[in-house]
Chain A
Amino acid sequence: AQSVTQLDSQVPVFEEAPVELRCNYSSSVSVYLFWYVQYPNQGLQLLLKYLSGSTLVKGINGFEAEFNKSQTSFHLRKPSVHISDTAEYFCAVSPPSIVTGGGNKLTFGTGTQLKVEL
């Protein structure tokens, strides 16, 4: 079974400052990793994903994340945030291979509320 820990429930940051949202996972098998963003009263939007290959993944809206297998982390970063980045961010994992009975089940972290202030 997999689990995901998002260490910070809230991250306040000033506009144009850099930000890092932390995500650690636990799994006995290799996993696929995802970051989703949820703006108020909306659904989840895929920011970026790591399936294989280069450990540095670039996503939409200037975000990037780095997969670190030894530290079992997939932290999300943005060099300069904007007010419009204020949202809830979810890290999620799924097993990469066929899992009998398990299906394509995403395991989500508890979310990090990013609040960008002027």
Chain B
Amino acid sequence: DTEVTQTPKHLVMGMTNKKSLKCEQHMGHRAMYWYKQKAKKPPELMFVYSYEKLSINESVPSRFSPECPNSSLLNLHLHALQPEDSALYLCATSPRGAKLADTQYFGPGTRLTVL
């Protein structure tokens, strides 16, 4: 299995809703990443987990809350989002811990729309 899967594919939510994005991998990769990508822009790093511990938070607002319950799963909990948070949210993984430069493999993304 060489895939990173993300669910849901699309999500529409109101500003008062609470929702979660899910990322799953079964490649035994030890680092997992959340990126945000706006239209016509490169991905921007949000969070990095290494060996299930949060190692990087790129000053992301607290309305985004990451969670890594086990080595195969990465969640992004969303609460009280703003319309400007509408974007494609990408999950990526890399084989070794995040302190080692390594190839990152991306999932297909979740298209989030905040109304």
Contact = CB atoms under 8 A, between A and B. Distances in A.
Interface residues of B, number: 28
A45 interface: yes
B103 A103 contact: no
A53 interface: no
A110 interface: yes
Contacts of B42: 90, 108-111
Interface in A73-99: 90, 94-99
Contacts of A95: 101
Nearest to B102: A104
A44 B101 contact: no
Contacts of A34: 103
Interface string A17-41: 0000000000000001010100001
A94 B101 contact: yes
A116 B2 CA distance: 29
A23 to B, nearest CB: 12
B86 to A, nearest CB: 14
B108 A42 contact: yes
Interface string B101-115: 111111111010000
Residue among A42, A106, A110 facing the most chain B CB atoms (10 A cut-off) = A106
Interface of A: 32, 34, 36, 41-46, 49, 90, 94-99, 103-106, 108-111
Given A43-B108, A105-B45, 5 more contacts: A43-B6, A43-B106, A98-B100, A104-B31, A104-B102
